[in-house]
Structure 1
Amino acid sequence: MWLHPSIPLRFTFDDAESPQLNQRWVEGLMHSANSTGGITLVDEILEVSE
C-alpha cells in the first residue's frame, strides 16, 4: 500500500491517552522502510522487565 505524503492521516484510540510506542520497534521499521528492499513488517518484541 502506498500513502502519499499529502494524504492526511488521523488515528483514533479508545483511551483518552495515547499509547506508549516501542521506540526500538519503530526505529527498526523506519530503517527497514528506508532500505532498498522496502519495509518489512515484523512482530513487535516486547521487553519484559523483572
Structure 2
Amino acid sequence: MTPKWIMDGLVKSGVIRDDSTKVVDLDWSIGPVGVIGKTEIVITEGVR
C-alpha cells in the first residue's frame, strides 16, 4: 500500500474524492535504502 498519510491528505484537500481501489489505480515503488528521494504524484482522470 502507498503511505496512508499521502492518500488521506489528497482526499482531505479535495484533490481526489476517494482513495479506495475502486477509484484509484496506484503505481508506486520504494527506492534504495539510504538514498534521499522524492515523492512524485501524477493525477489523471481516466475512463474505465
Give the shorter-chain TM-score range: under 0.3
Who wins on radius of gyration, i.e. which is larger?
Answer: 1
TM-score when normalising by structure 2 = 0.28
